[in-house]
Amino acid sequence: MQTVRQLLEQKSGRVLVTVSPESTVFQALQVMAEHDVGAVLVMDGGDVVGIFSERDYARRIVLQGRTSAGTRIRDIMTSKVVYVTPEQNSDQCMALMTEKHIRHLPVLEGKVVQGMLSIGDLVHATIQEQEQVINQLVHYIQSA
């Protein structure tokens, strides 16, 4: 089982995508599309003040008949950010995502953002771990 720190190292080269609380939803969606991500952290200076996801857009803009160009992120972001630390492991992340019904977890060390994990990152890591176990079992059986 990998730690969050190890998972982030595997994602090296990926840029942490953030927006300001003053950004419009439309601007945030443009940034998300440009970077092919499903969520962005909302940062005010160096502080995490929220998270905005495709789910937030669907539920708080589309279903409420609001416009993305006329709505600020601060008005619809999720301000109670659920996060993990680099020392936690992939199983803990998946359990937290399941419990909280979320798909993205910011990684904070103290108050410093280290990155973001998505459910896709965790599924990928789980598949890799299972493939290793299968290969070890096959090798064990063949050598017996």
Q: What is the pLDDT of residues 84-139, one digit of tens each?
A: 999 999 999 999 999 999 999 999 999 999 999 999 999 999 998 888 889 899 98
Amino acid at 50: G
Q: What is the pLDDT of residues 34-63, one digit of tens each?
A: 999 999 999 999 999 999 999 999 999 999
- The pair of structure tokens assigned to 128 is 């890799």
pLDDT of residue 33: 97
101: left (phi over 0), alpha (psi -120 to 50) or beta: left
Q: What is the pLDDT of residues 63-96, one digit of tens each?
A: 999 999 999 999 999 999 999 999 999 999 999 9
Residue 21 near residue 42 (C-beta atoms within 8 A): yes
Q: How confident is the model at residue 144 (pLDDT cuts 50, 70, 90)?
A: confident
pLDDT of residue 93: 97
Q: Using CA atoms, how far apart are residues 45 and 91, in angstroms rounded to an integer?
A: 32
Q: Give yes or no for residue 11 having a pLDDT over 90.
A: no
The model carries a pTM of 0.87
pLDDT of residue 14: 78
pLDDT of residue 107: 98
Q: Is 3.40.50.1370 the CATH number for 4-143?
A: no
Residue 7 near residue 90 (C-beta atoms within 8 A): yes
Domain segments of the chain: what residues? 4-143
Helices and strands (H, E) in the chain, number of each type: 6, 5
